[in-house]
Amino acid sequence: QVQLQESGPGLLKPSETLSLTCTVSGGSISGYYWSWIRQPAGKGLYWIGRIYTSGSTNYNPSLKSRVTMSVDTSKHQFSLDLRSVTAADTAVYYCARAREDQSRAFDIWGQGTMVTVSS
């Protein structure tokens, strides 16, 4: 069964760049959309953006100026860079896979990684 695992630093200072990687195991990375989603403590889910295995991306316009996503199919990984972080970027960050069908529902999720931005 496909599993996702996020990795990256848990603590950042304001103005630094958040870099997270999601490793895909137990299945193919090719042919799917892969998303990053975050959730501040006690709040709802927020979609950051997605990348297809071709490298095509869609970002949330509210974060677009600070976000870059990339994929390395040889390593079965995709990544998120979020620049110039502030305390407002403190959240649990999830990576997720979208179903292949038209629903594009998020059927596989990583366990999530807590990221704290604090001076």
Shorter beta-carbon distance to another protein: residue 11 or 105:
105
Q: Rounded distance, CA 45 to CA 39, Å?
A: 5
Interface with another protein by CB under 8 A: which range of 8-16, 23-31, 79-87, 109-117?
109-117
Pair of tokens at residue 108: 């596989």
Dihedral, 103, 73, 36, 1 alpha carbons, nearest 10: 60
Pair of tokens at residue 42: 């006690």
Minimal distance, residue 104 CB to another protein, in Å = 4
Minimal distance, residue 74 CB to another protein, in Å = 26
Minimal distance, residue 119 CB to another protein, in Å = 26
